[in-house]
Amino acid sequence: MTHIAKLQSLGLFDARVPRYTSYPAAPVFTGAVGAEFQAEAIRALDPAVPISVYIHVPFCERLCWFCACRTQGTQTLAPVEAYVGTLLQELKLVAAHLPKGVRMGRLHWGGGTPTILTPELIHRLAQAIKAVIPFAEHYEFSVEIDPMMVDEAKIRALSEEGMNRASIGIQDFTDIVQSAIGREQPFEATKACVDMLRHYGVHSLNTDLVYGLPHQNRESLAATIDKVLSLQPDRVAIFGYAHVPWMAKRQKLIDEAVLPNDMERHELANLAARLFTEGGFERIGIDHFARPEDSMAVASRNGKLRRNFQGYVDDECPTLLGIGASSISKFEQGYLQNTAATAAYIKQIEAGELPGYRGHRMTEADRLHGRAIEMIMCDFHLDMPALKARFGDAADDLLQRVAEAERQFAPFVSTEGGSLTIAPEGRALCRMIAKTFDAYETPGARYSQAS
């Protein structure tokens, strides 16, 4: 049996499993954990330990058809201005519970399209955040940027407020692919954006691509990657397109007949990995690449790579505080998601209430299983001695799952002393192997495909 045939026989092209950007996965969250938990967790923060902050801006001028994020379209600035006012109100509510002296090690603006904000709104929001949670000495401020929704004045404003990393969405530069996903973005506009960012001192650059898009083939993806390499990014993420029209209604605009099949998707992913590694990047986890000198590559080599709702990160802050509609916080005590619908979120904030509406309170068993899954997702290796050093004899509870993973995914995994290692040729199975260590069943949850 060939290598690909064996992967197929193990269910790679059929399985739908969590992406494990959290453990437990979001479908486990319940309404029993809400605003009261949120206030409790914020009050318990240690001022000596910097936190990460995520700001969600859900608005877009154009709604890309492939996107499954929580976003909404607008052709006027009025709802955006009103939303920023609500973010400022939420920050005041957080400040009422925040211990004095808490600092921000990381700040990330995501969306939606954060660059829909005018320079004036950029300054207003950034200064309000820093007034509540000032930057730590060594901070990172990253922003997701749409090259078609940014100009020099916006980049200047972001730079003045401390942005030092930019993440540019590209997806694919091929015209027919862009037309099929409702996202027109010429390479020339993207390069002009990159040039402006570098002019204003933002030299740390991430680019996001997607494989498995309609009309995409090996030749078109290779041409896109060649153009991306010419931009000289520090990091690249290339995600598999998740076709989930039952969840993201706009995806119904995409013709399923012109989507690559399962085998073609797998070939596209392998092609991208080869071209980026040949281009001087180190492979990070299942879908990221970084230049050897980049902090993410250093973290990966040193066993300090982590995984959260932004994907792979080198962020060592133990707390992620989410601000804005639908954003998710990670505390030592567990996870908390803000009210998802923008209108309901605004109503809750205007009533003077913290916006948390569902979450999960972590148990020690959750932390054990979560760390095991993070090891698999980040390092392709479950280190049993390290787990025993942290969790004691409780780590032995995983031994049966290690043996199960070895039986189910042979010959792509090996075990020794209770530790588990995924062979390079079996890393496409990573999420499926991680699922072996998931103690929760989520009937009715519909996840993206594993490949």
| CB-based contact 269:221 (threshold 8 Å) | no
| Burial of 389 (C-beta count, 10 Å sphere; 0-12/13-18/19+) | exposed
- Pair type for strands 288-290 and 282-284: antiparallel
| CB-based contact 183:66 (threshold 8 Å) | yes
| CB-based contact 71:392 (threshold 8 Å) | no
Task: Summarize the annotated binding site as residue ranges.
Answer: 54, 60, 64, 66-68, 111-113, 144, 171, 183, 208, 242, 328
Nearest to 61 by CA among 142, 17, 118, 137: 118
Separation of alpha carbons 426 and 39, rounded Å: 43
Separation of alpha carbons 273 and 342, rounded Å: 37
| CB-based contact 353:97 (threshold 8 Å) | no
Separation of alpha carbons 423 and 416, rounded Å: 13
Residue with tokens 């085998």: 263
DSSP 200: T
Tokens of 103: 């600092």
Separation of alpha carbons 442 and 444, rounded Å: 6
Is the bond preceding 147 in cis, omega lying within 30 degrees of 0?
no
Contact residues for 203 (Cβ-Cβ < 8 A; gap 6+): 164
> Which runs of E-coded beta strand occur in 353-439?
356-361, 381-382, 413-416, 419-422
Task: Summarize the annotated binding site for [4Fe-4S] cluster as residue ranges.
Answer: 60, 64, 67
Task: Summarize the annotated binding site for S-adenosyl-L-methionine as residue ranges.
Answer: 54, 66-68, 111-113, 144, 171, 183, 208, 242, 328
- Hey, what's the torsion of the CAs at 396, 397, 400, 401, to 10 degrees? -110
Tokens of 259: 């989507």
